[in-house]
Chain A
Amino acid sequence: MTGSYSRLFAFDARTGEEKWQYDARLPDGIMPCCDVVNRGAAIHGDKIIFATLDARLVALNRITGKVIWNKQIADYKEGYSATAAPLIVKGMVITGNSGGEFGVVGAVEARDVNTGELIWHRPVIEGHMGTLKGKDNGITGKLNATWQGDLWKSGGGATWLGGTYDPETNLLFFGTGNPAPWNSHLRPGDNLYTASTLAIDPETGVIKWHYQTTPHDGWDFDGVNEFIPFDATINGKPMKLGAKADRNGYFFVLDRTNGKFISANKFVMQTTWANGFNKAGKPNVIPEGRPPAPGEGKGKPVFASPSFLGGKNWMPMAYSQDTGLFYIPSNDWGMDIWNEPIAYKKGAAYLGAGFTIKSIAEDHIGALRAMDPKTGKIMWEYKNKAPLWGGVLTTGGNLVFTGTPEGFLKAFDAKTGQELWKFQTGSGVVGSPVTWEQDGEQYVAVMSGWGGAVPLWGGEVAKSFKDINQGGALWVFKLPK
C-alpha cells in the first residue's frame, strides 16, 4: 500500500499488523504540482515496485521491505515527478512520467524488472526520438505536423496516470496529458500526441495507433484517463473494444485493435467546449467556449464545463462483465476563467489566467454513473454532495464499491444502483477499493485519508468538503456469504 510523501507500507492481510514501511528520502527543492500523492505499486515475483515524487522508481523485496534497485527515471530539477502505479508486462516494468513545469515532455518507458535497466523510451510528443536498447528507434509522429516552431520541444503531454495492458492485442494503452503552454492560442494545431490515448507495442515502444480525445486542448482537460479493454457485440458484430471516460466529459468507445472511433457520449450534465462528436471521431467544437488569448476580453470570464478538474479525474472507473456496464466516478462542475492582468511568476510579470471552480447543480457535484457502452445511455446514477475522488470496484457478486470525501465506503447494486451498505471511515476516501479471496472469504479493503488536488483548487465548491478531516487508515471488510 502506498501513501503520501512517497511511502510504501506492508500490512498482514489477515490481521492488519504492519510488517514494514519504506519512506523515500525526498530531496529539498521538489515542487509537486498536485499534492504529495502516490497512486499505487506493482508486484512481480518477490518484488514490489513503486515510483517516488523525485521521479525515481524503487524495487523492494515485498517480504522484507529491503531495496533491491532504485533508478532515476527523469530529473526532478527539470520539473519531472512520478506518482503513477507501474505496470508489469513480460518481465518489464512500464512507467509514465509526471510534471507540471514547462519544458516537461511526456514519455513511456520499459525497464528490466530485475535490474531496473532501461529497455525502451518513447516520448509522446511528435518530433522527439524514441530509443530501444540504447539505439535510436524512430521519432514520434512527424516533426512540426501539428506544432509550430520549436514548441514541440516543451510540448507537455505527461503520462502521469500510468497505463493498462491487453494481452489479446499485445498492446499497452497510455493516456497523455495536456499540451504546454497552457494558453492554446500560442500553439496552433492539434498538438499531437497530447490529450490522447496511445497504443504502444510492449516489445519496442513503437506507437501502433493513437486517438486524440481533445484536439488543441485549451481547457487543461488532459487525456490521461485509463483505457479499459472489453468485448461487446456492436451492430451484430463481436468486437474487441476499449473505453475511456475523459476529463472532457465524454465517454469514448474505440476499436482497441486499431484505434478506430466507435462512439463518444456525454457522461456529465454539461459540456460547454463541444457539442458531441462527429462520425469521424472529431469534436463539434463550440468556439465561444475556448478561454481567450492573453490581452483579449480582459476581465471578462468565460464559463467552461467541465472544470479543469474534469468530468472524471484520476480515479479509475470499473467495468462489470456481468452487467456489461461501466461505473464512472464523475463530477458535475464548471469554472469561470479569465485573463489575469496582474500575475507574477518567479518574481516577474507574467500573463496568467485566473479561475474559480463553480457548482452547476443544487444538490450534488459528484455522481457515480452506470454507463452502457453499447448505447451511451446512463442506466443509473448516485449523486453525492462533495466531488467524488476515489476509484470504483465491481465484484463478481454484482456489487459496486466506491468511497466519498464525506468518509463513507459505499456498496451499490450493480444493476439498479440501489445503495446497499455504507461505512464511515473517519476521513475522506480518495483511494480505490480492492477485493481478494483468502481462506475461503472475500475481502474488500479501502484506504481513507483526504487530500489530493481537490482541496488545493476547490474554489467555491470547497464548501462541500470544508469540514472533512485529514487522516490515514486502511479499512478491511469481509463480505457476508
Chain B
Amino acid sequence: MLSRRAWMGGAGAALALGLLPGHSHAAPLAKVKALGTLRVVVYKDNRPWSWEESGKLVGLDVDLAQAIAVKLGVRADVAELVADESADDDLRNGVWKGGLLGFMPGDVMLHVPFDRTFAARNDQVAIVAPYYRESFALAGLGGAVPLEGMPTEWRGRRLAAELDSIPDFYLIGSFGGILTKDVAHYPTGSAAVDAVTGGRADAVIASRAQIEEGLHRAGERASRISLRKGPLPAFTSPGWDIGMAVKENSRTLGDAVEEITTAMAASGEMKALFARYGVTWTPANAAG
C-alpha cells in the first residue's frame, strides 16, 4: 500500500492516485450519492468524540460525520461500534468485513489512527483525511499538586487514569512504582477527568481532548484546574494523528472525504466544530 504521507498535500495528489490503472474508482462515491446515505462508523462510549446523551448520539466525530454528509449532499447514518481488543480488529469489524454478530461495515470509519506502520499492516483499508493531532496531558488542582514538578512529587496525591491506558502504565509503572497506590482507575479517560472536576481526585493524565471537554463541561467548577505546560518526563507517547478509513477499493470516496476535511481545516470550520466542545483543534502532523 502507498504511504499516505507520500500523497498528502491536496486534491491534485489525490486525483493523481485516482488515475492508477487496475482499480474501479468511480463506484463507491457514486454509490453513496445514488443511495443518498453515508454510513459512518464511530466508537461507542468514546467521549468527547462520540457518545450517547439523552438517547442521542453526540460528540466531535458525530458532528464531523454530519458535516461531511451534508457536503456530499447525502444523509449521515452514524453507527456506533463497540471497540474490540485493538484498532486493527475495529477496522475489520467496522470497515472491510463486518462484525461477528452482523454489524454492517460503514462507508467510512472515523477516529482511525493515521500512522504509517499501522496502515501498512491493515491493507484492506485506505486510511485518509488526518483531521486531528491527539496527545496526552496532565491536569490538576493547581494548589494541591505541583503540576510542573517531577512525578515523584505527586506521591500521596489522588491521581486518576483510564485503566490499562498509556497514562496508567506511566503512573503505576514508572519511577519504581512509587505512585502505584495513589492511582485510582476509571473505565475511560473522560471519567478520570470527571473525577478531578468532581473533587474526587487531584490530578489526571488523559488525552488533551478528554481533558479540555471535561473542563469545558464542568465550567465554573473547573476554574482551579489547569494543564501542565512542560512535557512529562520519560513519557513514551509523543501523540498521534487521527484520520478516517474507507475500504481499500473505495478511494474515490476517501479522496472526496479528504477534500472536504482539508477545506474545513482551511476555512476555520474544523476549529469552530471543536470549539463547541471546548476542545482546541490541533491539526494533524501529517496534514501540515
For A31, list chain B residues within 8 Å (CB): 82-84, 99
Q: B251 at the A/B interface (Cβ < 8 Å)?
A: no
For A150, list chain B residues within 8 Å (CB): 183-185
Query: Given A29-B80, A186-B172, A351 and B117 touching (CB < 8 A)?
Result: no
Assembled-state Cα–Cα distance A257/B281 (Å): 64
For A26, list chain B residues within 8 Å (CB): 101
Q: Does B46 contact A347, Cβ atoms closer than 8 Å?
A: yes
For B43, list chain A residues within 8 Å (CB): 346-347
Q: Does B163 contact A154, Cβ atoms closer than 8 Å?
A: yes
Q: Does A344 contact B86, Cβ atoms closer than 8 Å?
A: yes
Q: Does B113 contact A347, Cβ atoms closer than 8 Å?
A: yes
Q: Does A344 contact B87, Cβ atoms closer than 8 Å?
A: yes
Cβ contacts A338-366/B at 8 Å (1 or 0 each): 00001111111111100000000000000
Cβ contacts B116-134/A at 8 Å (1 or 0 each): 0110000000000000001
CB contact list, B189-205 vs A, under 8 A:
none
Partner of B185, one of A30, A151, A293: A151
For B86, list chain A residues within 8 Å (CB): 343-345, 350, 352
Query: Given A347-B113, A349-B237, A350-B165, A154 and B185 touching (CB < 8 A)?
Result: yes
B285 nearest CB across to chain A (Å):
13
Residue of A nearest to B115 (CB): A342
Assembled-state Cα–Cα distance A237/B172 (Å): 49
Max chain B Cβ within 10 angstroms of own Cβ: one of A346, A350, A351: A346
Assembled-state Cα–Cα distance A176/B49 (Å): 36
Assembled-state Cα–Cα distance A294/B103 (Å): 33
CB contact list, A141-170 vs B, under 8 A:
148-151, 153-154
Assembled-state Cα–Cα distance A185/B183 (Å): 16
For A33, list chain B residues within 8 Å (CB): 85
CB contact list, B235-262 vs A, under 8 A:
236-237, 239-240, 242
Q: Does B46 contact A346, Cβ atoms closer than 8 Å?
A: yes
Residue of B nearest to A78 (CB): B187
For A348, list chain B residues within 8 Å (CB): 113, 134, 165, 207, 240
For B88, list chain A residues within 8 Å (CB): 344
CB contact list, B130-184 vs A, under 8 A:
134, 163-166, 168-169, 172-173, 177, 180-184
Q: B228 at the A/B interface (Cβ < 8 Å)?
A: no
Q: Does B103 contact A28, Cβ atoms closer than 8 Å?
A: yes
For B100, list chain A residues within 8 Å (CB): 32, 35-36
Assembled-state Cα–Cα distance A293/B174 (Å): 10
Q: B44 at the A/B interface (Cβ < 8 Å)?
A: yes
Q: B211 at the A/B interface (Cβ < 8 Å)?
A: no
Assembled-state Cα–Cα distance A295/B173 (Å): 10
For B134, list chain A residues within 8 Å (CB): 348-349
Assembled-state Cα–Cα distance A5/B102 (Å): 11
Q: A172 at the A/B interface (Cβ < 8 Å)?
A: no
Q: B111 at the A/B interface (Cβ < 8 Å)?
A: yes
CB contact list, A319-351 vs B, under 8 A:
342-351
A128 nearest CB across to chain B (Å):
15
Q: B69 at the A/B interface (Cβ < 8 Å)?
A: no
Q: B112 at the A/B interface (Cβ < 8 Å)?
A: yes
Assembled-state Cα–Cα distance A183/B163 (Å): 12
Query: Given A31-B82, A154-B163, A351-B166, A103 and B187 touching (CB < 8 A)?
Result: yes
Q: Does B82 contact A29, Cβ atoms closer than 8 Å?
A: yes
Residue of B nearest to A30 (CB): B101
Assembled-state Cα–Cα distance A345/B111 (Å): 11
Residue of A nearest to B242 (CB): A347
Q: A108 at the A/B interface (Cβ < 8 Å)?
A: no
Residue of B nearest to A342 (CB): B117
Assembled-state Cα–Cα distance A257/B92 (Å): 49
Q: A287 at the A/B interface (Cβ < 8 Å)?
A: no
Assembled-state Cα–Cα distance A28/B104 (Å): 11
Q: Does B169 contact A186, Cβ atoms closer than 8 Å?
A: yes
A156 nearest CB across to chain B (Å):
11
Max chain A Cβ within 10 angstroms of own Cβ: one of B80, B102, B163, B164: B164
Q: Does B180 contact A183, Cβ atoms closer than 8 Å?
A: no
Assembled-state Cα–Cα distance A293/B176 (Å): 12
Q: Does B173 contact A29, Cβ atoms closer than 8 Å?
A: no
Query: Given A26-B101, A29-B82, A102-B164, A346 and B87 touching (CB < 8 A)?
Result: yes
For A30, list chain B residues within 8 Å (CB): 82, 101
Residue of B nearest to A144 (CB): B181
Q: A188 at the A/B interface (Cβ < 8 Å)?
A: yes
Assembled-state Cα–Cα distance A151/B164 (Å): 10
Cβ contacts B65-97/A at 8 Å (1 or 0 each): 000000000000000101111111010000000
Query: Given A180-B164, A295-B236, A345 and B101 touching (CB < 8 A)?
Result: no
For B180, list chain A residues within 8 Å (CB): 148-149, 188
Q: A100 at the A/B interface (Cβ < 8 Å)?
A: yes
Assembled-state Cα–Cα distance A150/B187 (Å): 13
Q: A259 at the A/B interface (Cβ < 8 Å)?
A: no
Assembled-state Cα–Cα distance A138/B179 (Å): 29
Cβ contacts B33-52/A at 8 Å (1 or 0 each): 00000000001101001000
For A342, list chain B residues within 8 Å (CB): 115, 117-118
For B111, list chain A residues within 8 Å (CB): 346-347
Q: A181 at the A/B interface (Cβ < 8 Å)?
A: yes
Assembled-state Cα–Cα distance A343/B82 (Å): 18
Assembled-state Cα–Cα distance A343/B237 (Å): 11
Residue of B nearest to A27 (CB): B101
Assembled-state Cα–Cα distance A35/B169 (Å): 29
Q: Does B82 contact A347, Cβ atoms closer than 8 Å?
A: no
Residue of A nearest to B111 (CB): A347
Residue of B nearest to A31 (CB): B82
A154 nearest CB across to chain B (Å):
6
Partner of A149, one of B112, B183, B187, B242: B183
Residue of A nearest to B239 (CB): A349
For B163, list chain A residues within 8 Å (CB): 102-103, 154, 181
A387 nearest CB across to chain B (Å):
21
Residue of B nearest to A294 (CB): B169
Assembled-state Cα–Cα distance A151/B87 (Å): 24
B60 nearest CB across to chain A (Å):
12
Q: Does B118 contact A36, Cβ atoms closer than 8 Å?
A: no
For B46, list chain A residues within 8 Å (CB): 346-347
Assembled-state Cα–Cα distance A36/B46 (Å): 25
20 further interface pairs, Cβ-Cβ under 8 Å (given A26-B101, A32-B101, A186-B168):
A29-B82, A31-B84, A32-B100, A36-B100, A36-B101, A103-B163, A148-B177, A148-B180, A154-B185, A181-B164, A188-B177, A188-B180, A342-B115, A344-B86, A344-B118, A344-B240, A346-B90, A346-B111, A347-B87, A349-B113
4 closest A-B pairs (Cβ-Cβ)?
A344-B87, A347-B111, A346-B83, A342-B117
Contacts A/B (CB < 8 Å), 29 sampled = A5-B101, A28-B103, A29-B82, A31-B83, A31-B84, A33-B85, A36-B101, A103-B163, A149-B181, A149-B184, A150-B183, A151-B185, A154-B185, A342-B115, A342-B117, A343-B86, A344-B87, A344-B88, A344-B118, A345-B85, A345-B87, A346-B87, A347-B112, A348-B134, A348-B165, A348-B207, A349-B237, A349-B239, A350-B165
